[in-house]
Structure 1
Amino acid sequence: MNISNKLMLIVLLTTFEISITVFSAFEIAKGAKFHQLNFLHLKYVNQLTKSVERIKSDLPVDIQAIESDILAIKQQPIDCLNEINHLNRIIMKVIKTDQAITICEDDIKIADSALLLVQQYKNDRLNKDDFLIGMSAALDGFNQHSEVFEEPIRKTVSFILMTLIPLVLIISLFNIIFISYLSRTISSSIRNLTKLLLNKSEDNTNLDDELDRKTSGELKALVIAARHRIKSEILNIESSLELKAIVNSQTASLQQANDELAQFAYRASHDLKSPLSGAKSLAQFVIQDIKAGDTEEASNNARIIYQQMEKLETLVVDILLLAKAEIGNEEKDFIDFEQIFIDMKERLTWLMKDNPCTLNTSVNLSTPISSEKARFAQIIENLISNGLKYYDKDNASPFVNCDIHDELQQLIIIVTDNGIGIPKKHQSEVFDMFKRFHVETSSGSGLGMALVKKHVEYLGGEISLQSSDKGTTFKIIIPMDTLK
């Protein structure tokens, strides 16, 4: 779903919630309206009773006032029936309070009969005694209806209160959850797009498929347009014989295309720019050295370019691993942690060769572990390599210990070192991307710990750390039921 459609859906859900809330308020207010109508009914019945008593006492009475009171009494059930809509009728029928409707209809009939008596009495077609008998019967009916009217109305209002208020709360809660979900998917689309821009090279044929799967239409269109533009500019540069002149003339166009991508890939571009800029400058020096016949200097510069490209490759690989950390695309198999340690030591030969740290590993599992091997390999290798990199050169016996065991249906991985530690003010940022806290020692991309956290979270676990100038301990806890 496109971002614009998601935003429209949020508006519609909010409008629906407001409409239900307003409707509920009006329905609840009807209860007060019905009680008010019954109060007026009693008021006019009381006035009519006084007028009838005056007639019985042979006191002068305005017959027009009696007729007016009866009309006022009749108006209350009429207004009541007008207030009751089709939905109210269904509800009253279901909860068996629809006798209130019958009461209103009967009240109107009694009022019509009383008005007929008044007309007959005014036209001298009805004597006083018969008129009083008829009016007394009408008053008895009116009073009885007022008394029995309250109970079904009270039950109906109570039912509406008990139904609509929870309904409004449920709809509001649903809206909060669903709108939060939509907002999260919008953020996720932008985040996934940023990862794709960091991960994918220009000649990767699967980028369009990844865009279709992970991003919404507007973001996809923007990236594809920028991507095609960059490809076009690169092709123009590569096909030109005057490379330097074309680079200078096309810088503004390429910069514009890069600006279109900056909102999605600023952080990555910051770390990619340094080795690329250095390689570009060195490439110019190599060209100058070759022209000058200084092949030794050209060879040195070329070697530096190669080293810069290795750093760049490491960064891209780390970004790719970080993006894949949330995708379970490897088949599960039984994990041989001892073999993982063996493979890791082979890969870290360059780091361990002249490193004085003692690496101690132990595995004590009562139950076999089944999961994706690559995830555990990357978790263990990143934690141990960090301990090896940041050892304390002033410590006579530096070490890195890795202990893996199970306890209380949990897999526990603890990596401890006695290195230089992590500054306290930066400990909350350890698992953020592109974070390095020992610039003079750091040689990585700044993504290792972010990758570890992604893997641990994917496996349903938690990672914590304790660090001081005496060393650092990372502890990972993963429920065993996710590793079967």
Structure 2
Amino acid sequence: MNISNKLMLIVILTTAEVSITVFSAFEIAKGAKFHQLNFLHLKYINQLTKTVKKIKNDTPVDINTIEFDILAIKQQPIDCLDEVNYLNRVIMKVIKTDQALTICENDIEIADKALLSVTQYKKGELSRDDFLLNLNVALDGFNQHSEMFEEPIRKTVSFILITLIPLVLIISLFNIILISYLSRTISSSIRNLTILLTSKPEDSTNLDDELDKNTTGELKALVIAARQRIKDDLLNIENSIELKAIVNSQTASLQQANDELAQFAYRASHDLKSPLSGAKSLAQFVIQDIEAGDIEEACQNAKIIYQQMEKLETLVVDILLLAKADIGNENEELIDFNQLITDMEERLAWLMKDNPCTLTTNINLSTPIKSEKARFAQIIENLISNGLKYYDTNKDAPYVHCDIFNEQETFNITVTDNGIGIPDKHQSEVFDMFKRFHVEASSGSGLGMALVKKHIEYLDGEISLQSSNSGTTFKITIPMDKLR
């Protein structure tokens, strides 16, 4: 399956999952609406009962109040029948709870008879005693129906919860596993082709065999097109001078093809992010709807769906940044580090809120720094956010301090904290992908430090760390020649 088909499959699966989740939420909320209608039904029955009791005590008949109460009682079964769609009727018939609909219809008939009695009493066609008798008969019917209505509705809601919630969870789990698998296959295809194209000629005995073995779909077509273009041009070589010129031209063409391939990896990762972000937003909306219906168990299950999709989105975003780290596609500009720190604090407001850590920065630059601003924003934000996340709860004054300064030949960033530190046995793995050593304190993707190292290597810089249970210090040095 080629990459475009994989992306289309991801979109279809996500759309199907969200549709089923939203449908389930509305069906569960509808059960809460039925209980609410029955509560209102009892409320208006109680109001009518009080009015009838007053009539028995020779109180003057308040015919308008009686008519209003009967109309209010009638409205509840009408609303109930309006809420029920064809699928609901089929489900209720299968589980034998469709008597609830018959109860609503009978309730409407009783209300209509009571309203007829009101009309007859107004016209003087009905005596006070007969009118009172008819109202008592109607009240008996209303009370009986209200009691009978609750049980079939409870069974219907229970059936929906037992059926739809596990179905949503199973589909969501399947979706997460399949999307993760498809994402890995896309990343693996791009990575294998990149390694193949960047390998030296002697590293591969037969490029065609390697392409057939490791590459399919659009990626293979892209490489074949680039190679075919080179071959067609080489066939027209007539002398050594032309050969040299064409070789130089085709070398540039091949480099362009590699650049296009890298851009393709970027776009593919971006396309993966879009449907996942949409699924996350809809899942959050579902949570809010279910919470409004006060269905605690369903809400908790929906939150699990949302959390899983959010983790998957974070992973895709981090992979996107990691793939983009080797591509210098931004214009260089003079960097205002004071503004960069301010912007970073705004982005980390969620993390700094109620965080006991004190964040301090010291910027001391004797010369302007010119480079890609996004790289330095990601470097500094990842280092500082790690210090904020992994602070030591047993220390009275946790802090994170960032120094940004330059010397004659190097630009330096130092980030120091007095947090829980990194275990000695894991310090050599800090910059590896998907490595997290304090899972209980944070749930990131494990790509942050790998991204930092890629940015620094792109700038021909170096990063080192010192860590113990007293805290951690990261030191970064970058040649000034890369930043002018």
Normalised by the length of structure 2, the TM-score is 0.50
**Larger RCO: Structure 1 or Structure 2 (Cα < 8 Å, ≥ 6 residues apart)?**
2
